[in-house]
Amino acid sequence: MPAVHSSAPGKIILFGEHAVVYGRAAIAIPVLHRKASAYVMAAPSSPAGQVIIDAPDIKLQTTLENLKPEDPFSVLFSLLQKELQIANFPALKIRIKSDIPIASGLGSGTAVSVAAIRAMGLFLGKPFSNAQVSAMAFEVEKIYHGTPSGIDNTVITYAKPIYYVKGQEPETVEIAGGLDFLIASSGIASATSDIVAAVRKAKELQPAHYEYLFDEIGKISKLGKKALRQGDTADIGELMNRNHKLLTQLGVSSDKLERMISAANQAGASGSKLSGAGIGGNIISLVPHAYIGAVEQAVLSAGAAETIVTSTE
Ligand code: PMV
3-15 pLDDT tens trace: 999 999 999 999 9
2 CA → ligand 1 middle, Å: 37
pLDDT digit string (tens) for 284-312?
Answer: 999 999 999 999 999 999 999 999 999 99
The residue among 291, 246, 256 whose CA lies nearest residue 270 is 291
Q: Is the CB of residue 196 below 6 angstroms from any atom belonging to ligand 1?
A: yes
pTM comes to 0.95
16 CA → ligand 1 middle, Å: 9
Which of 147, 196, 250, 275 for mutating ligand 1's site (highest number of atoms within 8 Å of CB)? 196
CA distance 298 to 18: 27
* Ligand 1 atom closest to 151 (CA): 14
Please tell me the residue having the least CA distance from ligand 1 atom 4. Answer: 105
In this predicted structure, what is the pLDDT of residue 313? Answer: 76
The residue among 12, 22, 15, 56 whose CA lies nearest residue 37 is 56
pLDDT digit string (tens) for 101-139?
Answer: 887 889 999 999 999 999 999 999 999 999 999 999 999
In this predicted structure, what is the pLDDT of residue 58? Answer: 81
Strands 26-42 and 4-15: antiparallel
Q: Is the CB of residue 185 below 6 angstroms from any atom belonging to ligand 1?
A: no
The residue among 241, 192, 200 whose CA lies nearest residue 220 is 241
